[in-house]
Structure 1
Amino acid sequence: MLPSLYISHGSPMLALEPGASGPALRALAASLDRPKGIILMSAHWETQSLQVSSAAQPSTWHDFRGFPPELYQVNYPAPGDPELASRVARLLNDQGLPATLDADRPFDHGTWVPLSLMYADATIPVVQVSLASQGPAMQYRIGQALARLRGEGYLLIGSGSITHNLRELDWQATHDAAQPWAQAFRDWVVQALTDNAQSALLDYRQQAPHAARNHPTDEHLLPLFFAYGAGTAFSVAHTGFTLGALGMDIYRFD
């Protein structure tokens, strides 16, 4: 059975400057059986109602501005899987989570940046599940509803960032230096996941130290709950910070 994963995808520049995350993602992918397909929830697809991407050949969307020209030349031509997308939607609907198909959704950078480092050949079909707006408990239920697919050879991934306050990045920080408030939040999450403290995690905004400072908005943490809902045996695959406050952790749930 494949695990579910939570990946901190950092800046879009990770695709060109992978730092320590690149080898960690490549090693993680190499340690797993090759997936039949990937089902991914990205922080960069927020919707009011739950949607599933069903395009046969999604385009690569450079959903950012102000980066070097070469980044806009990166293409990740992985196929979609309309049949898998329909099954994912059925599983969600069967669990009381109404979901519809979106045949036009491209791959946003929360999808193609980490996958370009894990599976550079871009031949594994990828289906995205949107980040519906109902908070941690909703994403946890989505993960639970799709967990059975792990046993059928599908890899479930939540893609975000364990800390994400772009206004407080320190552009002079040394590579692994972390702001104390960012480190404290990251450590609280890891301990809560280690303890499988579900109620505390779902209420992280009230219980975790510096929660609002680390996540002024919570879209980059919410995919964690998707991965957590799909598998509970937690371990840390990679840890680190860039720019003082951007956590680059990678977690797996077996």
Structure 2
Amino acid sequence: MRIVGEWMASTPKMPVLFLGHGSPMNAVEENEFVTGFRDISKEIETPQAIVVISAHWETQGTKVTAMEQPATIHDFGGFPKELYDIQYPAPGMPQLAREVKRMAASTEVVLDEKWGLDHGAWTVVRPMYPKANIPVIELSLDYYKTPQQHYELARELYSLRHKGVLIVGSGNLVHNLGMIRWQQLNECYGYDWANEANDKMKELILDGNHQALVGYSKLGKAFELSIPTPEHFLPLLYAVALQDKNEEIKFFNDKPVGGSLTMTSLKIG
């Protein structure tokens, strides 16, 4: 890893990912979504570090993990023991955490020593980089920020793309667990409203219409059902905020499951 003083040398621009992480069971199963994560990593220059914005770390204020060795957090219940036995011992990177804090002009970022890597992070990074040899830090979602404020914070992190850092938003475009058909969780099935919202989101992403995505609450009933709470959608805003004009977009894992969940993922750049 090339370090100049406290920070990394400039590199060619890294892509940005939004990953639909879905069920934690993806960490122990071999399925098309895990294959999709693995395959996309082969298209990316090996990053010097990874920043994950996960739907599963909501905080009062904005925090960034700053420990040398983040714990693997099993933040779920009712799953098989083999899932809880998994460890993903990727190192942290305190100097990257400090750089994120410095770059975030619009908000105070607190260096956190208590969190770690939740399942929104390790279940998707692990199939991409199974050796756990790339530093990973997490940036939290401040639940008091508006979507516009999240978008603006993400824009401030843009130069990380030129420092070998892979930025990953981890959530789901459509995520309504209250309406999910659990018996069809392993099937490609989406309610009409879920498919409608997912298709519209992709259209807006391809058009670069970020303000419509930021204002998702004004986009009608399908969006209201698809995003009953914002935490799984907000990581998308962190990804698209880093999109350059006319930059290539690639969708993958683009399928609904269980009626009210979509695994749609995308690579920018």
Which TM bucket (shorter chain)? over 0.9
Q: 1:100-139 residue pairs with structure 2 within 5 A? A: 100-133=110-143, 134-139=145-150
Q: 1:186 aligns with which of 190, 195, 198?
A: 198
CA distance in 1: counterparts of 2:193 and 2:19, whole angstroms: 21
* TM-score under structure 2 length normalisation: 0.90
Q: 1:215 aligns with which of 227, 250, 254?
A: 227
Structure-2 residue corresponding to 1:74: 86
Amino acid at match of 1:48: Q
Fraction of identical pairs, as percent: 35
Amino acid at match of 2:166: L
- Superposed displacement of residue 208, structure 1: 4.7
Q: 2:160 aligns with which of 138, 149, 159?
A: 149
Amino acid at match of 1:228: V
Conservation of the 8 A alpha-carbon contact between 1:239 and 1:250? yes
Conservation of the 8 A alpha-carbon contact between 1:189 and 1:208? no
Instruction: Confirm whether residue 57 of structure 1 aligns to residue 64 of structure 2.
Output: no
- Superposed displacement of residue 244, structure 1: 2.1
CA distance in 2: counterparts of 1:55 and 1:170, whole angstroms: 39
Conservation of the 8 A alpha-carbon contact between 1:141 and 1:229? yes
* TM-score under structure 1 length normalisation: 0.95
- Superposed displacement of residue 18, structure 1: 4.2
1:201-233 deviations in whole A, cap 9, x for unaligned?
A: 111111154222112111000000001111243
| Runs of 4+ that moved beyond 4 A | none
- Superposed displacement of residue 135, structure 1: 2.8
Structure-2 residue corresponding to 1:16: 28
Instruction: Confirm whether residue 40 of structure 1 aligns to residue 52 of structure 2.
Output: yes
Is 135-144 or 79-88 further displaced after alignment? 135-144
Is 96-105 or 216-225 further displaced after alignment? 96-105
Is 195-204 or 173-182 further displaced after alignment? 173-182
1:123-175 deviations in whole A, cap 9, x for unaligned?
A: 10011111112132122112211111111111000000111111211133372
Conservation of the 8 A alpha-carbon contact between 2:116 and 2:138? no
- Superposed displacement of residue 240, structure 1: 0.8
Q: Secondary structure at the match of 1:41?
A: strand
Q: 1:81-96 residue pairs with structure 2 within 5 A? A: 81-92=93-104, 95-96=105-106
Amino acid at match of 1:121: K
Q: 1:188 to 1:113 in 2, by over 3 A?
A: same
CA distance in 2: counterparts of 1:241 and 1:55, whole angstroms: 36
CA distance in 1: counterparts of 2:132 and 2:179, whole angstroms: 34
Conservation of the 8 A alpha-carbon contact between 2:20 and 2:264? yes
User: Gaps (5+ residues) in structure 2?
Assistant: 1-12
CA distance in 1: counterparts of 2:180 and 2:225, whole angstroms: 12
Amino acid at match of 1:131: L
Q: Secondary structure at the match of 1:84?
A: helix
Q: 1:161 aligns with which of 152, 172, 183?
A: 172
Is 163-172 or 35-44 further displaced after alignment? 163-172
Amino acid at match of 2:119: H
CA distance in 1: counterparts of 2:27 and 2:156, whole angstroms: 31
CA distance in 2: counterparts of 1:31 and 1:5, whole angstroms: 12
Count of equivalent residues? 252
User: Gaps (5+ residues) in structure 1?
Assistant: none
Instruction: Confirm whether residue 243 of structure 1 aligns to residue 253 of structure 2.
Output: no
1:31-84 deviations in whole A, cap 9, x for unaligned?
A: 100000001100011012111110100110101111111110011000000111
CA distance in 2: counterparts of 1:181 and 1:40, whole angstroms: 29
